[in-house]
Structure 1
Amino acid sequence: MSMSKKKVLIISYYWPPAGGPGVQRWLKFVKYLPSFDIEPIVYIPENPTYPLVDATNTEEVDPSITILKQPINEPYSKAKLVSGKNTDTLSAGIIPAKKKQTFVEKMLLWVRGNFFIPDARVSWVKPSVEYLTEYLKQNKDVETIITTGPPHSMHLIGMELKKQLNIQWIADFRDPWTTIGYHKELKLNESSAAKHLELEKEVLNQADQIIVTSKTTKQEFQEKTSKPITVITNGYDITNLGKVPLDEKFTLAHIGSFLSERNPRILWKAIAELRKENKAFKDAFQLKLVGKVSSEVLDTIKEFKLEDCVVNHGYVDNVEALRQMRASQVLLLIEIDSDDTRAIIPGKLFEYMASERPILGIGPEDSDFFDIVRETNTGKLVLYSEKDKLMDILLEYFELYQQGQLKVHAMGLQYFSRKRLTEKLAKVISNE
């Protein structure tokens, strides 16, 4: 390794063998940073509680990368003794619909929201600061630290190190903090809600640079800080899977976690009506679910009598998820119908785009992900109020499928490749 490489310390909770989209962003940045003369050093918990595990992610970590680990004391592992299933789904971010929450779930949410601020990993802040202060004093060639959240506790580690060592600190927000959908679900009392806002503001004003994944989050944060904010979206990586044959059925596939708040009744209604009206559609149609699906979503599918056309693969590893994407006729992308979620660009969008299968997107008005789908010409989009338009799109896609003409003519995908995005990150690190 040449001596001229700049060294950066990346502080993250998620790292292989964690599964799910949260781990992909920094796994790929770390993979490509050395090509831009930056040597990443990664700091992670030694014994984390990951809700999803994917061994294939581990194969992507270069064995020459320095990885530092410290034990973490997590409430989730203790809460498991009280209520195993509930804590697993809660730590996976799958919050049950309000009317279906059990007493234990309500209690766990209340405790999590009011006792663990900003989140359940907050007890890792103090030991991490002690350990990393020593490490950075001994390794003075590390000039920059980067924290990535959620969990936003990671930013508190960065903030303390900044105060103590006056080192360059970049805070990366994979999701917003106080405006994200599930924040409202935490049953926060007044002082807890105020504390979150205060910490968010402090982090945004103490960091030297801020990175966000969408332009709406950038606009939101600009009202809270004058620090420089760069948008670096998530992206896709070049994966060689060989030739993946298309599904024979007319598959509409949802790949990734399917949460209860994302349950699009408009879609189930549209499919049910099309199956009633159009025999050819009924015979060919299949709803393909790949990933963790909440029981509310499955119940609603039953309610619309669609269970006979559903194939539920459950959680699969990343490579299999990519294969399923490429095999699907149409890819389903859903964001919760709320103003708070306009800034959320689902991580899978970029893998969807790279798989070059048409996307059907359902989301709130002015969603940031709508812009990306339009710019890249990778699919069609509807609002939650547009059932007739949704039926027309499904029929149009179906007719193209029948003619063997269902494909995408994407544009500008290269801007979303992980390597191109890492180049952008390298410029932020070097203050260019």
Structure 2
Amino acid sequence: MKKALIITYYWPPAGGSGVQRWLKFVKYFREFGVEPVIYTVKDPNYPIEDESLLKEIPEDLEILKQSIWEPNRIFNLFKKKKTESAGFLNPTPSISGKILRYIRANYFIPDARKFWVQPSVKYLKKYLKKNKIDVVITTGPPHSMHLIGLNLKNQFGVNWIADFRDPWTEIDYFHQLPLTKRASEKHHLLEKEVLNNANAVIVVGNTMKEKYYKFNKNTYVITNGFDGEVTNFNIDLDSKFTLTHIGLMNADRNPKMLWEVLAEIMNENHTFANDFELKLIGKVDNSVIKEISNFNLTKNVSIINYISHNEVIKFQKKSQVLLLIVNNVPSANQIITGKIFEYLMAKRPILAIAPTNGDLAEIIHKTNSGYTVDFNERDQLKKTIVDLYSKFKDDKLIVNSKNIEQYHRKELTKKVSEIINSITE
């Protein structure tokens, strides 16, 4: 059995999407001849926690932990909000907020977890001398994790896989950072160094693969996925025409066109206004809440800040339509939000506002699981919602999706194990 040391910042009780990918791989690794060992942080500063995920950790799993010093703890003393995740950069920061963001962007490269790199390398050097490890796997963001792998590769010549859940210099908020030219160049340099030195690189979509392939020919696509039974039998759907969005909705993900279209439909069709409910489950930026209020949609909106992952699945299966919003940013065509795969498991129609020529649209098209409307296709968005509502009224709102099982976490883990075998033989 191959032994894999997985270096990850996010691990239960961390909540949110970042923890799911490797928690699920670890769950199935042993079935494919891989024994995982986890190296993660002790007493981390997670913005979201989900204690229920602790139950999914396999028995007898070896977990190594080291303390981390996080400057975010100091930054938070100067802010009214406890935490500000990267996906929730304040679009109108105060003067002190701008200063703190400038410091974070230019002095903590690649991110605020950089101070964990050298202590981790020192700790893991001792571990590797005493324990046989076939492959080291780092997963980011935070991309500081890859620098740990890079150091271990350079010092020990270990087999190393760098897993990118999101791109580095093309992540959706990178363009918002107040980077100096020197800082930007350092980001790109470190990114290339990681790509050039890893034995293999794993990414979540085809567009990322095309960009990274020129640096590393051993670049593979392993998407995110779902873990559970694909069924829509014996599910009591919402009695209202619900449009449900799961996950973060930040300023970049604020679909102003959608709010405008919904308000227009409600004004034109009072029956729709009585039947319609928008459910936003997850953290919602104040700019989104304000925009919803401006279009007089508040009475039709339910906002649930955070619930456990198990509860999320129940909401997805009950919803009439599942809403998926891609950030309207330069890298939008390569964004594949992790929730798309659990939406597929729910077997409910998906309405995505995203580039129609992007990786996400391709998945929706190939699985016949819903509809993709581009950022500026206002008339098409209105027509799609009206058509979905008409099917709802006729009790014909169903989806005949296909080729979904390829995204089950077990199938994806099998592919990861094949990559491990290919570089350790």
Alignment TM-score, normalising by the size of structure 1: 0.95
1:346-425 paired onto structure 2 within 5 Å: 346-425=337-416
Residue among 104, 107, 131 paired with 1:112: 104
Aligned to 2:87: 93
C-alpha separation in 2, matches of 1:315 and 1:185: 26
What one-letter code is carried by the residue in structure 2 that aligns with 1:71? Answer: S
Residue among 56, 59, 67 paired with 2:55: 59
Question: Aligned-pair distance for 1:366?
Answer: 1.7
C-alpha separation in 2, matches of 1:212 and 1:267: 30
Secondary structure of the corresponding residue to residue 357 of structure 1? coil
The question of 1:323 aligning with 2:314 is answered yes
C-alpha separation in 1, matches of 2:230 and 2:342: 13
1:20-419 paired onto structure 2 within 5 Å: 20-85=16-81, 88=83, 90-91=84-85, 93-97=87-91, 100-140=92-132, 142-223=133-214, 225-238=215-228, 243-419=234-410
8 A contact 1:155–1:171 mirrored in 2: yes
8 A contact 2:323–2:351 mirrored in 1: yes
Question: Aligned-pair distance for 1:421?
Answer: 0.3
What one-letter code is carried by the residue in structure 1 that aligns with 2:114? Answer: V
Question: Aligned-pair distance for 1:378?
Answer: 0.4
The question of 1:13 aligning with 2:9 is answered yes
Classify 1:354/1:128 alpha carbon distance in 2 versus 1 (closer, same or farther; 3 Å).
same
8 A contact 1:338–1:364 mirrored in 2: no
Question: Aligned-pair distance for 1:47?
Answer: 1.4
Secondary structure of the corresponding residue to residue 178 of structure 1? coil
C-alpha separation in 2, matches of 1:226 and 1:160: 18
Question: Aligned-pair distance for 1:102?
Answer: 1.7
8 A contact 1:360–1:379 mirrored in 2: yes
C-alpha separation in 1, matches of 2:111 and 2:289: 29
What one-letter code is carried by the residue in structure 1 that aligns with 2:383? Answer: D
Secondary structure of the corresponding residue to residue 342 of structure 1? helix
Question: Aligned-pair distance for 1:339?
Answer: 3.1
Structure 1 runs (4+) deviating above 4 angstroms are 239-243
Classify 1:265/1:303 alpha carbon distance in 2 versus 1 (closer, same or farther; 3 Å).
same
Secondary structure of the corresponding residue to residue 9 of structure 1? strand
Question: Aligned-pair distance for 1:226?
Answer: 3.3
Instruction: Give unpaired runs (5+ residues) of structure 1.
Output: none
Secondary structure of the corresponding residue to residue 252 of structure 1? strand
Aligned to 1:426: 417
Question: Aligned-pair distance for 1:63?
Answer: 2.7
What one-letter code is carried by the residue in structure 1 that aligns with 2:395? Answer: G
Secondary structure of the corresponding residue to residue 5 of structure 2? strand
Secondary structure of the corresponding residue to residue 148 of structure 2? helix
What one-letter code is carried by the residue in structure 1 that aligns with 2:400? Answer: H
8 A contact 1:109–1:185 mirrored in 2: no
Question: Aligned-pair distance for 1:317?
Answer: 1.1
Number of aligned residues: 422
What one-letter code is carried by the residue in structure 2 that aligns with 1:91? Answer: S
C-alpha separation in 2, matches of 1:340 and 1:365: 13
Secondary structure of the corresponding residue to residue 400 of structure 2? coil
What one-letter code is carried by the residue in structure 2 that aligns with 1:414? Answer: E
Question: Aligned-pair distance for 1:33?
Answer: 0.4
Question: Aligned-pair distance for 1:381?
Answer: 0.9
Question: Aligned-pair distance for 1:112?
Answer: 0.9
What one-letter code is carried by the residue in structure 1 that aligns with 2:111? Answer: D
Question: Aligned-pair distance for 1:290?
Answer: 0.6
8 A contact 2:230–2:345 mirrored in 1: no
8 A contact 2:201–2:216 mirrored in 1: no
C-alpha separation in 1, matches of 2:186 and 2:178: 14
| Higher mean C-alpha displacement, 359-368 vs 13-22 | 359-368
Classify 1:312/1:36 alpha carbon distance in 2 versus 1 (closer, same or farther; 3 Å).
same
What one-letter code is carried by the residue in structure 1 that aligns with 2:332? Answer: T
What one-letter code is carried by the residue in structure 1 that aligns with 2:210? Answer: Q
C-alpha separation in 1, matches of 2:280 and 2:405: 28
Question: Aligned-pair distance for 1:80?
Answer: 2.0
Deviations 1:154-207 (A, max 9, x none): 000000000111010000000000011211222111110010000000000010
Question: Aligned-pair distance for 1:239?
Answer: 5.3
Alignment TM-score, normalising by the size of structure 2: 0.97
